Amino acid sequence: MKHLCTFLLLLTGSALIGCGGDGAASQPSSSASLREVEREHAAEKDDAHAGDEHAEGEHEEEEAALALTAQQIAAADIGLVEAGPASIQETLPLYGVVVPNAQRVRQVTARYPGVIRSVAKNFGDSVRQGETLATVESNESLQVYNVTSPLSGVVTARDANPGEQTGDRVLFTVADLSTVWVELSMFPRDRGKVNVGQRVRVQGPDRELSDEGRVIWLAPFGSSANQTLTARVLLDNPKGRWAPGLYVTAQVLLGETAVPVAVHNEALQTLEENPVVFVKGAHGFEPRIVKLGRSDTEVTEVLAGLQPGETYVAGNSFILKAELGKGEAEHEH
């Protein structure tokens, strides 16, 4: 009977008179049991709610991540890089133009005055050292001799035609373009920042042409025309990609700072006004909000949001941003 009364008390939440004794005496025990049941019920509801939130969070994470196969990654040319330390460079931006290396330019004249009998090379032709440029018949001996190139390179100027007298003029100009100079213009206020021997990153007009050289000379005098000073950079040019006359941009290296974590600049995208990096996770590539620090033309320091060793998308990350945007648009509809 006692057990039955306790059961009814728990079930109804009120005191029952006549259930095996004085109702007032049994009230405290019944209220305590009821509170315990209510607490257990509330705890079960909290556990269930927490489980739902956890499941929902995992579901949202899976939805935010973009799952791609190895074939899709290769087809989209998505570059993957492991986050790690890097050097942030402090640089001075300058502008300039490519010119021939004047120490590797030769002007060719006739050894003896005479009549030009033939011309073997034209403007733009490649020549080897000792190769014939033209033939000349001497006015004195009437002997025909060869005018040859003093070095291997390219004919950059020609002033010779068959039948003409050579006189003492320059017939050909030959330049060895295996190295070139880049003449950079800098303002007087920047003169103290640039020194002979400093490294310089030079970039061509198409942005894909890039190379590194060093400052080899600083002009002792300025230009009255534009109030600038000239810094000369020597560039190797074995494939002839740096054509004289090209306008270029350059970054003179002033200093370097080592940072523990950095990403390539092309990896950075913006979502909801926040900088993000697409990180490879268990469910695919997920956009990760990052806190950024110092940067240069190549990399940017990451202060928070990315750990060393994590794999992120460096190349063509904009493709993932576009795919994520399409997925969100479809979800809204």
Kindly report, residue by residue over 183-239, the tens digit of the pLDDT.
999 999 999 999 999 999 999 988 789 999 999 999 999 988 889 999 999 999 999
Q: What does the DSSP assignment read for 109-175?
A: --SS-EEEEEE---TT-EE-TT-EEEEEEETTT--EEEEE-SSSEEEEEE---TT-B-TTS--EEEE
Do residues 94 and 195 both lie within one domain?
yes
Helix axes 317-332, 23-64, angle to 10 degrees: 130
Asked if 300 and 189 sit in the same domain, the reply is: no
For residues 137 and 118, what is the distance between their CA atoms, to the nearest angstrom? Answer: 10
Give the residue from 239, 256, 273 where a domain finishes: 256
Domain with residue 73: its CATH number is 2.40.420.20
pLDDT at 25 exceeding the cut of 70: no
For residue 66, the 8-state DSSP code is B
Q: Give yes or no: residues 49 and 145 share one domain.
A: no
Consecutive H or E run containing 182: strand 179-186
Last residue of a domain, one of 236, 256, 276: 256
**148 and 117 fall within a common domain:** yes
- Domain boundary, last residue among 116, 151, 175: 175
Digit-coded pLDDT (tens) for 29-83: 444 444 554 555 555 555 545 444 444 444 444 446 788 888 888 888 899 999 9
Q: Are residues 171 and 182 in the same domain?
A: no
* 127 and 274 together in one domain: no
Which residue's structure tokens are 């556990």? 47
Q: Per residue in 157-188, pLDDT tens?
A: 999 999 999 999 999 999 999 999 999 999 99
CATH code of the domain covering residue 192: 2.40.30.170
Q: Which domain holds residue 152?
A: 103-175
Judge if 77 and 94 occupy the same domain.
no
Q: Are 198 and 184 in contact (CB under 8 A)?
A: no
Please give the pLDDT value at position 144.
Answer: 98
Calpha distance 320→268 (Å, rounded): 11
- Say whether both 237 and 95 belong to one domain: yes
* 94 and 232, same domain (yes or no): yes
> Do 224 and 95 reside in the same domain of the chain?
yes
Average pLDDT over residues 113-137: 98
- Residues 6 and 18 occupy one common structural domain: yes
Q: Are residues 81 and 199 in the same domain?
A: no
CATH code at position 153: 2.40.50.100
The answer to whether residues 279 and 73 touch, using CB atoms and an 8 Å cutoff, is no
Structural domains in the chain (count): 4
Q: Read off the tokens for 28.
A: 């405290």
